[in-house]
Structure 1
Amino acid sequence: MTEWLRQPGFFATHATVGADLSQLMATLFTALFIVGWVQAKRKQGHAHHWLMLGGMIAMLVFFVNYYLFRSLGVLAFEGKEGFGGSEELYHGVFIPLLTFHIILVVIGIVMAIYMIVLGFRSQALVGDRRVLKDAVLQTSWRKVGLLFGSITGVVVVLFLSRVVTAGFSMRKMEVYLGFLVLLAIVFGLEILIQRIWPNGERRHRALGTFTMVIYCILFITGSVTYTMLYILYPGKIG
């Protein structure tokens, strides 16, 4: 699989299959989320719920599995030799843009998990309509601790079962630990944010808009990085 991802890409650029696949999926997911955002604006609750839930889960599954093979996808290259531009452009433009993009990736992953959780907590079925609850939506550290402890127990059991059947893998352990860290951040974020927006409906709408802005900026920075790395200033990609 790793070798296939390193083959020449299908967009007729200097990119690899992995880089082109990452860019393609980023485009598709961004378009999908924009459609979901429009559905929310039109108060199409059922369609919005299932499209965003399916889209965010698919995005998380794709990029987590992709990371196991190719790390940062479109950004995977070996040092400066992956960039064919000047030193000034590399250090003054490309690296700052790359750093900003990676920071947004982390924020985007956290918000994806958070919005899935918040989506279930803040919704209600009224007849045949799915709506947001116009009410206070809060939790406690005790409930968060119990839930996180239960999930941690399940994750540990799953990891140990994988170790028994397939052997120990540091990369897989990083994925499991990363998942727990993300959940811890999400739960901590919930405790903090619920003080700012105690109303579930307002919280969902405000953070949904914030998440959409993050994803749109992510797509732009990722596309600019892809263009610089594989079209304008290609280096020794492989």
Structure 2
Amino acid sequence: MLEWLKQPGFFGTHATLGADISQLMATLFTGLFIIGWVQARRRQADAHHWLMLGGMVTMLVFFTNYYLFRQLGVLAVEGKEGFGGSQDLYDHVFIPLLTLHILLVIIGLVMAVYMIVLGFRAQAFDQGKRMLGNVTLLTSWGKIGKIFGGITAVILLLFASRVASAGFSSRKLMVYLGLLLLIAIVFSVEITIQRIWPNAERRHRVLGRFTMIIYCVLFVTGSVTYTMLYILYPGKIG
């Protein structure tokens, strides 16, 4: 699979097939989420629900597998051989941009899971019509602890499977621990969020808008990173 992703891409740049697929899918998902946002603005709740649910689940499956297979974030910062520009440009523009992009990827994936769950928790039906419920959503620390424990077990199993198939790496360990830390922060923030926006409808709208902004910025940083790596300053790493 990894060797297949390293083949030349189809956009006619210096990118690999994996990079071109990633850019294409990022464009597709961003477009879908913008359509979903428009549907929400037009109160097309049912269409919005299924489009966003399908889009987010597909995005989670695709990008989780893609980054696990390709380890793009780890690969791209292993050395300047992956970047054909100057050292100054690499240190002060490319690396900060790439770091921001990877951070947004993690936040975006976590928010996708969060919004899927929130979407189901916040929904209500009136005579068969889907809408956001005007109810209070509260989660206890005990329930959050159980959920986080389950997620931790899954992530540790994923890490163990990676170690079994590809060997141990401290960098891989840092990636998985970083993911756990981020999820822990999100759950901690949830307690604050439910105090600020206890109302299900209000919370869904505010966090949905925030998530949409994250995805749009993520698309921009990803596109700029792609352009720098594979068009303006191509290097040896694909």
TM-score range, shorter chain: 0.7 to 0.9
Letter aligned with residue 123 of structure 1: Q
Percent pairwise identity:
72
Q: 1:93 corresponds to which residue?
A: 93
Letter aligned with residue 190 of structure 1: E
Q: 1:232 corresponds to which residue?
A: 232
Contact 1:14 1:237 in 2 (8 A): no
Deviations 1:7-65 (A, max 9, x none): 11110000000111111111111011111111111111111111111111111111111
Q: CA deviation at 1:130?
A: 0.8
Letter aligned with residue 122 of structure 2: S
Deviations 1:67-120 (A, max 9, x none): 221112797475201111111211121111111111211211121111111111
Contact 1:77 1:237 in 2 (8 A): no
TM-score, length of structure 1 as denominator length: 0.86
Letter aligned with residue 145 of structure 2: G
State the distance in 2 between where 1:209 and 1:114 align.
13
Q: Specify every segment of 5 or more residues in structure 1 that has no aligned partner in the other structure, as ranges.
A: none
Q: 1:70 corresponds to which residue?
A: 70
Q: CA deviation at 1:181?
A: 5.6
Q: How does 1:1-238 map to 2 (within 5 A)?
A: 1-72=1-72, 76=76, 78-149=78-149, 155=154, 159=157, 168-169=164-165, 183-238=183-238
Q: CA deviation at 1:159?
A: 4.0
Contact 1:15 1:237 in 2 (8 A): no
State the distance in 1 between where 2:108 and 2:151 align.
22
Contact 2:97 2:225 in 1 (8 A): yes
Q: CA deviation at 1:128?
A: 2.3
Q: CA deviation at 1:183?
A: 4.9
Q: 1:177 to 1:80 in 2, by over 3 A?
A: closer
Structure 2 SS opposite 1:124: strand
State the distance in 1 between where 2:152 and 2:99 align.
30
State the distance in 1 between where 2:39 and 2:23 align.
25
TM-score, length of structure 2 as denominator length: 0.86
Q: Specify every segment of 5 or more residues in structure 2 that has no aligned partner in the other structure, as ranges.
A: none
State the distance in 2 between where 1:140 and 1:216 align.
32
Q: CA deviation at 1:194?
A: 0.5
- The count of residues paired between Structure 1 and Structure 2 equals 232
Structure 1 SS opposite 2:224: helix
State the distance in 2 between where 1:179 and 1:84 align.
30
Structure 1 SS opposite 2:131: strand
